[in-house]
A and B are shown apart, each in its own frame.
Chain A
Amino acid sequence: MTQSEELVRRCDDHLAAHPIGAEMAFVGGFLTLGSGTRLAKLGAPLDEPRLAALLTSAHGGPIEASCLTHVRRAVEIWRDGDRALALTHLALSGLAKLGEPLEGARRLFFADALMDANVAPGVIVEELTNETASGGAPAAKYSPDQPRAPAGSPDGGQWTQDAIGPLKAPVADRPKSPSAAQQIALVLPDGCEQEWARAREICSALLMAPNPPRGQTGGYSDINNCARGFASERCGGNPVRRSK
């Protein structure tokens, strides 16, 4: 039995043994969907690329960044105890319910297994985003039997060009789809709110001028984007500070 067939068998066994939840639910410290696939662990830093890959797989196609934001907020708010608001965010995400529960659960299982096998989440998102029209489920497109770049190499765990026949270029050379890029966000480390507070103080004052200095505001007219120039990269600010 090939690894692909083994994965399909494991999936069938798993689906037969577990009830399928058509809606996202907070169960035992996790946000789950499908046949209990864990989308996020409460209290742990959110792995947004993984979450994006799982939800993209579950729904069989690209998801909007704003939808992912609702899910992220739901996890954060549930953790903080406001359960009603957390469920509201889940509902607003538009992703809470699977249109095809069985197929969605199956795709979730495959995506989870592939990432456990070190397939990069971005690869799954990108391929599903680009190839939705082809109708292929992750397992149909990716296979553990196919060669991958060795672990530890820059592309470690990602499928090589030979492994992904339909791909036109090596993974590293392919442009990232905007939706995939937008879906990747960061959970702010400690001290960052203070950084953003100071950045807000500066930018709100700068933007009260009729001609705000572009060197400081970066040419942005809104406080949030201006503030990115005054917050560190660690906190989600711009990677390189603008000249002052």
Chain B
Amino acid sequence: MSLIDRMIAYASTGDWADCQAYLAAHPPGDAPEEQSSHATWSVRAEIGLHRLDDALHRLDATAGRFQCRCGLSYLRSEIYWLKGEQSAAIEALRSAPWSEEMGSFPGLAKETMFLYCYFLAKAGREAPPKLVQAIPEDYRAILFDGSRVGKADLLAAIEQNQKHQQSQTTA
């Protein structure tokens, strides 16, 4: 069974302790992809076990192994979001290199771009219009709690903010 298949099996059942034990017992080889995958799943296991500070430490310690920098930002944002630190979660996304990785890691580049705009809008802050415009109309993302949202939700949140600001101005 490949590492990926094994990780999917652990993740599907939520056996994160076993997942972590397996990863500890099977260090990665020298190949960058192997190291990146091992680092990713190791952080994922810590998050699954709700050891969020440990997850953050592991993320920092292995940041150099991540090939997908947007993925690094995504995991960091998720950890802060789970810790209840919304501003830090947004800030983590802001540093994601969307444009650089749109060709090599489009999934994480688009997701971090969407989440950055969405979290900003939901926090009552302005989402960069150019980024919002760049998100496809039919794009759907999955939030860290598993709920799915689309661009329509993002636009609604932005419009609500604008109305709120207008009412504040007129008042």
Minimum Cβ distance to chain A for residue B42 (Å): 10
Contact of A222 with B by CB under 8 A: yes
Contacts of B142-171 to chain A: CB distance below 8 A: 142, 144-148, 150-153, 155-157, 159-160, 163
A88 lies within 8 A of B159 (CB): yes
B155 to chain A: closest residue by CB: A92
Contact of A117 with B by CB under 8 A: no
Size range of the interface on B?
35 or more
Minimum Cβ distance to chain B for residue A128 (Å): 22
A66 lies within 8 A of B152 (CB): yes
A70 lies within 8 A of B105 (CB): no
Contacting B163 at CB < 8 Å: which of A88, A204, A220?
A88
Q: Would you call the interface of chain B mostly helix, strand, loop, or mixed? A: helix
Q: Which residues of B contact A198 (CB under 8 A)?
A: 11-12, 14, 146
| Measured CA separation A82–B94 after assembly (Å) | 28
B9 to chain A: closest residue by CB: A244
Contact of A213 with B by CB under 8 A: yes
Contact of A113 with B by CB under 8 A: no
A222 lies within 8 A of B110 (CB): yes
Contacting B105 at CB < 8 Å: which of A89, A199, A207, A216?
A207
Can you offer 29 A-B residue contacts whose CB atoms are under 8 A? Answer: A66-B137, A66-B138, A69-B150, A73-B152, A85-B160, A88-B163, A92-B152, A193-B146, A193-B147, A194-B146, A200-B142, A202-B7, A204-B75, A205-B37, A206-B4, A207-B105, A207-B108, A208-B36, A208-B37, A208-B40, A208-B66, A208-B68, A208-B105, A208-B108, A209-B36, A210-B104, A212-B107, A213-B4, A230-B12
Give chain A's interface residues, CB within 8 Å of chain B: 65-66, 69-70, 73, 84-85, 88-89, 91-92, 193-213, 216, 220-224, 226-227, 230, 244
Give chain B's interface residues, CB within 8 Å of chain A: 4-5, 7-8, 11-12, 14, 33, 36-37, 40-41, 44, 47-48, 66-68, 71, 74-75, 104-108, 110-111, 137-142, 144-148, 150-153, 155-157, 159-160, 163
Interface pairs A-B: 8 shortest CB-CB: A197-B146, A208-B71, A207-B107, A193-B146, A208-B68, A200-B142, A196-B146, A224-B140
